[in-house]
Every structure is written in structure tokens, then in C-alpha cells.
């Protein structure tokens, strides 16, 4: 998984909004199981249509995947994609700074 400049800009843009960053963080915490759209809406007290727009932006940026299960739709973080974003940012921004690997294993 590799991100080019345009893909990175799109991902940053998607995360560059308070509501979307909240959604993303919530889904990260949910892990590989993901969350139903309704569950996200309940957690964040957001109108369904507003949430759908934001989810669509996150999906478009490649950060989130969705899968239908009956009537419900599961959203989950694409960890490969978001890890690629970390790598992009890390390589781009912290030249000369050796980072310690992340120990926060969920």
C-alpha cells in the first residue's frame, strides 16, 4: 500500500473536519468489527443524512470501507490505507527524526 501526493491530500482533507475526525476515531476504536451506521449516529448524535455525507467522504478518501449486511451497513477503518497515510506523513514531515514504534496495541 503506497500513497501518492494526491491520495494523501485527499485523505488529509477527509480527516480535516471535526465531525469526520470524530467518526474516524470512533471507528478506529471499534476495530475490525466496525460499526453500523446507526451506531455511529447514536454515538455522535448526528442526523442520518449528515453522517452519510461524511462517511461518503471518508470512503472516497479510502480511509473507510463499507459492507452491507442485510439492512445494515458496516463501516470499518481500512487500516492499511491509514497506515500508509502515517507512513507518508512520517516520511515527509519528520526527516531526521527517528520515531519510536507505536506501542499502543489495542
Partner DNA sequence: TCACTATCTTTACAAAACTAGAAATATAGT
Partner DNA sequence: ACTATATTTCTAGTTTTGTAAAGATAGTGA
> Which CB sits closer to DNA, 71 or 99?
71
> Which CB sits closer to its own copies, 69 or 100?
100
Neighbours of 41 (CB within 10 A): 18
Query: Which residues from 50-79 bind its own copies, rule CB under 8 A?
Result: 77, 79
Q: Are 40 and 89 in contact (CB under 8 A)?
A: no
**Least separation in angstroms between CB 88 and DNA:** 19
Report how far Cα 68 is from the mean position of its chain's Cα atoms. 18
Query: Which residues from 75-104 bind its own copies, rule CB under 8 A?
Result: 77, 79, 82-83, 85-87, 89-104
31's contact among DNA, its own copies, none, with CB below 5 to 8 A by partner kind, is: its own copies
Cα–Cα distances in Å, from 9 out to 6, 80, 81, 85, 89? 5, 17, 13, 10, 10
Using CB under 7 A as the criterion, which residues of the chain lie in contact with DNA when the complex forms?
13, 17, 19, 36-39, 41, 46-57, 66, 68, 70-73
Amino acid at each position: 500500500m503506497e500513497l501518492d501526493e494526491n491520495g494523501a491530500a485527499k485523505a488529509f482533507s477527509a480527516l480535516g473536519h471535526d465531525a469526520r475526525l470524530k467518526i474516524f476515531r470512533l471507528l478506529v476504536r471499534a476495530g475490525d468489527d466496525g460499526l453500523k451506521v446507526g451506531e455511529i449516529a447514536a454515538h455522535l448524535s448526528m442526523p442520518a443524512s449528515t453522517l452519510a455525507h461524511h462517511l461518503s467522504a471518508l470512503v472516497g478518501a479510502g480511509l473507510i470501507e463499507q459492507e452491507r449486511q442485510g439492512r445494515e451497513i458496516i463501516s470499518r477503518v481500512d487500516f492499511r490505507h491509514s497506515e500508509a497515510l502515517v507512513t507518508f506523513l512520517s516520511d515527509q514531515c519528520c526527516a531526521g527524526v527517528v520515531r519510536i514504534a507505536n506501542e499502543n496495541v489495542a
